[in-house]
Amino acid sequence: MQADDYTEIIYWYKADRSKPPILKHVSDEGLEDFVSGQETNPPFLDLPKFPCHTQATERCVHLVTEASSKVCGEKKRDGFIKSRIESRKLMKSFNSVRIQA
């Protein structure tokens, strides 16, 4: 088999494809109308708001970035992340938020 690009060796018609869960309620026709420009303000674009930029997300991104720079390989990176999480569980933590009565 000869291929100029890796996309030519993938059997796309055999790939199991499904809609993302957030778009399950959107019909194919509605999506095509939106993409073609016939529908400018479709109701399905009123998507639920998910908290995606939280302090916990920032901690995870920082931890994965740190692990990627310290070790090589998937298993070593996972081990680094797991050991870092376990060591944080052992350390005493203080609640920095004070509730005033």
CA atoms within 13 A on the CB side of 22: 6
Query: Could you tell me if 22 and 47 are in contact, meaning their C-beta atoms sit under 8 angstroms apart?
Result: yes
Greater confidence (8 vs 82) lies with 82
pTM for this prediction: 0.38
Mean pLDDT, rounded, for 38-55: 73
How many percent of the chain have pLDDT more than 70? 83
Residue 73 has pLDDT above 60, yes or no: yes
Q: Residue ranges per domain, the chain?
A: 6-45, 55-90
φ, ψ for residue 94, nearest 5 deg: -115, 140
pLDDT band at 97 (very low <50, low <70, confident <90, very high): low
pLDDT band at 11 (very low <50, low <70, confident <90, very high): confident
